[in-house]
Amino acid sequence: MTAGFLFSSFPYIALAVLIAGMLVRTMMARGRMETVAGESREALEMLCSGKAWWASLLVLLALHLAGLVFPSVILGWGGSTARLYLLEGVAFVVGAVALGSWAVVMWRNLKRSGGSTITEVSDTIFLALLLLGILSGLLMAAVDRWGSIWGAITLTPYTLSLLHGRAETQLVTGMPFLVRLHVFSVFAVLAVLPGTRLASVLVLGLHRSFALLGRPLSAAGRLVDEWMQKHNPAGRIRPGEA
């Protein structure tokens, strides 16, 4: 498997697997949302419990998104040595907290059983890939320092090239191994997600979102129907047909 494939085709394959898998999970959940709600609570309890765990993941996600969406701001912030040390130090500490919290979550996952074999395996692979992402990020911070700067210069254009459908793989393939491992782990996590317990959380969220969106549409439909009944011209043309 070539590096070009991993960073040109695999991201799209992972996204396709994510979308197809979530569609299948959503279709399978029709008519059994109460069960899905229970599965969602179980998934959050097993894979997302612990403030340090989910808080550290949210902070890491926010930092990565900031580098992708606002690269000029990150580069400007890193123009000062003190601010650069602060940003890199905070990211490393948060990553270390995430690593320690991961160990607790993985231990809880290995001790508990009760789901299907596919779910159990998917959860374990999902957590293993998260470890790969967290650990490679920490090692990058120690070995290939100032990731916030070179990440904004290389990984942001690479992500944009993926969105435009023309993956510029040379931006990643020329980077150190830990960087490539870190990027690969992100897409691999997306591909595995539909098979995990966390997929039920997404299914429930989608169901509730569609329900909220459907309410104004249903109300608008009733208003249109009432207006049509009130202004039905048939009553004026043929009084008996109103």
CA distances from 69 to 74, 131, 185, 187 (A): 10, 25, 20, 18
CATH class of 3-232: mainly alpha
Dist CA 127 CA 123 (whole Å): 6
pLDDT (mean) for 122-135: 91
Q: Determine contact, residues 146/84, Cβ cutoff 8 Å.
A: yes
- Given this model, what pLDDT does residue 115 score? 65
Dist CA 232 CA 107 (whole Å): 67
At what angle are helices 51-69 and 81-111 packed, to 10 degrees? 140
| Each residue's pLDDT tens digit, 3-51 | 778 899 999 999 999 999 888 888 877 777 777 777 777 777 777 667 8
Q: Which residue has the higher pLDDT, 145 or 178?
A: 178
| Each residue's pLDDT tens digit, 176-233 | 899 999 999 999 999 999 988 888 888 887 777 766 776 665 555 566 656 656 655 4
- Given this model, what pLDDT does residue 33 score? 72
CA distances from 11 to 127, 165, 187 (A): 19, 11, 6
- Given this model, what pLDDT does residue 221 score? 56
- Given this model, what pLDDT does residue 216 score? 66
- Given this model, what pLDDT does residue 217 score? 54
User: What band does 242 get if pLDDT is binned at 50, 70 and 90?
Assistant: very low
Could you tell me the two tokens for 10? Answer: 């695999």
- Given this model, what pLDDT does residue 105 score? 86
| Each residue's pLDDT tens digit, 72-126 | 888 888 888 898 889 899 999 999 999 999 988 888 877 776 667 788 888 889 9
Q: Determine contact, residues 82/89, Cβ cutoff 8 Å.
A: no
pLDDT (mean) for 151-161: 88
Of 101, 102, 130, 124, residue with least CA distance to 112? 124
- Given this model, what pLDDT does residue 1 score? 62
